[in-house]
Amino acid sequence: MKNENKSRVGAQALGRKIRVSVTKMRRIIDRIRNCSYEEALVSPEFMPYKACYLVSQLVLSAAANASTNLGWNKSELFIGEAWVDNSTYLRRFRPRAQGRGYPIKRPTCKVTIKLSSNFVEK
């Protein structure tokens, strides 16, 4: 009974206030969704985006949570769910003519990665 609750909960990692826009992060997350753990670690290394390192760190963190908290084997893990949400904006001001200030909004995002195990108990 205790293991059934753990399998429903799953392991997750949450990255908050990541200084990347949502659309740029989604193009990476869409490629690793429903992949195995090993494939989710390898595929961002060959993408030419700055945010790939952040995504691979989140996958490593979620796998560490799964093995430490739930006792799952890393070779049986896959990315069950992964999504990106808007977060707050960093507000900056650019000086303009005649003493005015022009607001600049720099986007941040929040990334959630949930791992599941394909291990079936008999």
What letter would DSSP give residue 51? Answer: T
Place of tokens 């990347």: 20
Note the pLDDT tens digit of each residue in 25-57: 999 999 999 999 999 999 999 999 999 999 999
Q: What is the pLDDT of residues 66-111, one digit of tens each?
A: 999 999 999 999 999 999 999 999 999 999 999 999 999 999 999 9
Q: Which two tokens stand for residue 100?
A: 């005015």
Q: Are the C-beta atoms of 121 and 72 separated by less than 8 Å? A: no
* Beta carbons of 19 and 106 less than 8 angstroms apart: yes
> And the tokens for 43?
């595929």
Q: Specify the amino acid at residue 39.
A: E
